[in-house]
Chains A and B, each alone.
Chain A
Amino acid sequence: MRKKQYRLERTHLNSLLKLLREEGYQTYGPVRGELAMEWAPLTDVGELPRGWTSAHGPAHYRLENRGGESLFGYRNGPESLKKFLHPPRARIMKAERNGGAFRILEDRPAAAKRAFLGVKPCDVAAVAALDRVLLNDRYSDDIYQANRAGLFLIAVHCTECAETCFCASSKAGPQAKTGFDIALHERLDGAMPEYFAECGTAAGAALLEKTGAPPAPPEWARELADACALAAGAQQRKVDFSSAAAVVERNYDSPRWDDIARRCMACGNCTQACPTCFCVNFEEHSSLDLQTAERHRVWDSCFTQNFTYIHGGSVRLSTKSRYRHWLGHKLARWQQQFGSPGCVGCGRCITWCPAGIDITAEFEWLKAGAPAAI
């Protein structure tokens, strides 16, 4: 079946937001914050960062206003959808003393229905990667499951990438192929932007139909593919994921890890900014009167010492061993575990590393045994 394709204008985007709210969704979009793009509640496309983009490099991010009418010329800010689906902190249990025994109090907050407008293909792919880990693996995570069930994704294809992007390598982008309810391509050839819209799910199809938008010209699909191919070709960074397992394995004792460890601060920013890093720690809390106790789940990082703490101490004491573990898991072992890389190529770990360590450059170095060309 050929998917129905529509030609949208700004007013149609507002209709989409309105229809979603009528269906009980909180609507979010990329909004310009003081220092970076962030996901914020959005009720009108007028709140989108029209004319704004950002410059990216290792340990470098700056908002930039280049003018123009583009609503989606923004590049990914520090945050993905991870914090909405897999919150940084969650209380997972509360117990109360009840005489000699105790009872568990049920107080799980209801999951929200959230719709996101303008999600980049890498972040759509990151949701799919989290699905494989937190939904479809042996055990499913009920907090994630509840948030995921209420998620509606309106993706926007990338026709220009940031300097730190390498989604063409991970095949997550620049064109979103799957995982969205609706995907948009912003066309800037006219005086005002127009949007080529495709549906990815029945819910997306129903919503697009309700906007009353006309069908898209048939050549727009081809033009989208061409624009994305151009963007992919312009990406300077790359990772050969098919060779990752072999590269990581044969470089276990590479001196390169020592070199990285001289720069790496083990601060964990890469793992927190990563849209697929899902590791958590559990904290027990008890009240001073010993009458109540709580268990909290908090984002963790494989760069902390506590992460590998077992009886007798931590397994990975050195920063070197932690970076080696992280790179190896992201690029190689995740593939063996979950069938796809744990990296979608969004480049956040490069941009938001305060030391400017570039995972693609390090991987290339390990692969070639010499510095990468870039």
Chain B
Amino acid sequence: MSFKHEKPRVAVFKFASCDGCQLSLLDAEDELLAVAGAVEIAYFPEASRRMQKGPYDIALVEGSITTPHDAELIHQVRRQSKTLITIGACATAGGIQALRNWRDVSEFVRVVYAKPDFISTLKMSTPVAEHVPVDLELRGCPIQKEHLIEVIAATLAGRRPNLPTYSVCLECKRRSNVCLMVAAGTPCLGPATQAGCGALCPSMGRGGYGCFGPMENANAPSLAERFYTLGATQPEVDRAFRSFNAWAWQFRKVSEEVHQQ
């Protein structure tokens, strides 16, 4: 990739999210100076008051689209950005707030807010890719800071970033983790979830929560079947698939089938 400026200009945008993903960039303590030296941080309100206008070489977009304003703004971001990278479960799958997609949001607004008239919100929380073309998605709730640095390093070197799309199970096996589902009967979303976290939860004796969303060729129905075999109830299977990546279609399909039964 060639850049107009000496260093690629990076911008960080936020939509409906908890900020955890963009914070992981600031959390990259050891590499932060190297990142700051390699790119020009042109727009990053959470980190700097110096906010420069576009166009940008790389836009990192966090959060899902939940308001009419968001839906308009994301098009502006796209127009100003050469490469648009979505970061985190909200931006790539709609996030935990996508649970509203199965409910009546106006009812929530009436119950929660004293003056509902001030609230302007969309019925659904949707991923960025449903609104504008996305060049690369970084999964996770939150993302791995190593992935973000890898993407920047790969962009600078003009190579493909190393980002796994296979299951968490491969990471477990490389770490010599004993499979919790097989050896302890603990339900784990690992076999249907994209790797990237380094098998964090199974390494701590907890079944995977699916933070990185559905893997390539995810077979979520087979995994749900396994959960039932292990003694899980319908509400448990439903909750397993309806979390941070609930609106990702592979997980969505399974939980909707649970609701139909």
Contact = CB atoms under 8 A, between A and B. Distances in A.
Contact of A262 (B165, B173, B222): B222
A267 B34 contact: no
Contacts of B223: 265, 354-355
A254 to B, nearest CB: 19
B157 to A, nearest CB: 4
Among A264, A286, A318, which residue has the most Cβ atoms of chain B within 10 A? A286
B220 to A, nearest CB: 9
Interface residues of B, number: 44
Nearest to A301: B170
A286 B176 contact: no
A283 B226 contact: no
Interface in B164-187: 165-167, 169-170, 173-174, 176, 178-184
Among A266, A301, A305, which residue has the most Cβ atoms of chain B within 10 A? A266
A354 B181 contact: yes
A83 interface: yes
Instruction: Specify the main secondary structure of chain B where it touches its partner.
Output: helix
Interface string B200-219: 00000100000000011111
Contacts of B152: 288
B176 A288 contact: no
Nearest to A37: B178
B159 interface: yes
A288 B156 contact: yes
A266 B167 contact: yes
B192 interface: yes
Contacts of B184: 35
Given A288-B34, A319-B217, A269 B159 contact: no
A210 interface: no
A289 B37 contact: yes
B34 A354 contact: no
Contacts of A265: 167, 191-192, 218-219, 222-223
Interface stretch (A41-49, A58-66, A137-145, A173-181): A58-66
A323 to B, nearest CB: 11
Contact of A267 (B31, B169, B174, B180): B169
B217 A305 contact: yes
B162 A284 contact: yes
B96 interface: no
Nearest to B174: A88
B178 A33 contact: yes
Among B154, B169, B182, B218, which residue has the most Cβ atoms of chain A within 10 A? B182
A289 B38 contact: yes
Nearest to A33: B178
B165 A306 contact: yes
B183 to A, nearest CB: 4
A179 to B, nearest CB: 24
Contacts of B192: 265, 267
B232 interface: no
Interface in A1-55: 33-36, 38
Given A298-B174, A305-B166, A288 B31 contact: yes
Given A287-B153, A319-B219, A352 B182 contact: yes
Interface in A301-349: 301, 303-306, 318-319
Contacts of B154: 286
A351 interface: yes
Among B176, B217, B219, which residue has the most Cβ atoms of chain A within 10 A? B217
A299 interface: yes
A273 interface: yes
Contacts of B167: 265-268
B35 interface: yes
Contact of B179 (A33, A63, A269, A287): A269
B134 interface: no
A303 B156 CA distance: 31
B190 interface: yes
A90 to B, nearest CB: 11
A130 B251 CA distance: 39
A78 B179 contact: yes
Pairs A-B, 4 closest by C-beta atoms:
A272-B173, A267-B191, A88-B174, A267-B167
18 contacts: A34-B205, A36-B178, A262-B221, A266-B217, A267-B169, A272-B174, A283-B162, A288-B31, A288-B35, A288-B38, A298-B174, A299-B170, A301-B166, A306-B166, A319-B217, A319-B219, A354-B181, A354-B226
Interface of A: 33-36, 38, 59-63, 77-79, 83, 88-89, 261-269, 272-273, 283-290, 293, 298-299, 301, 303-306, 318-319, 351-352, 354-356
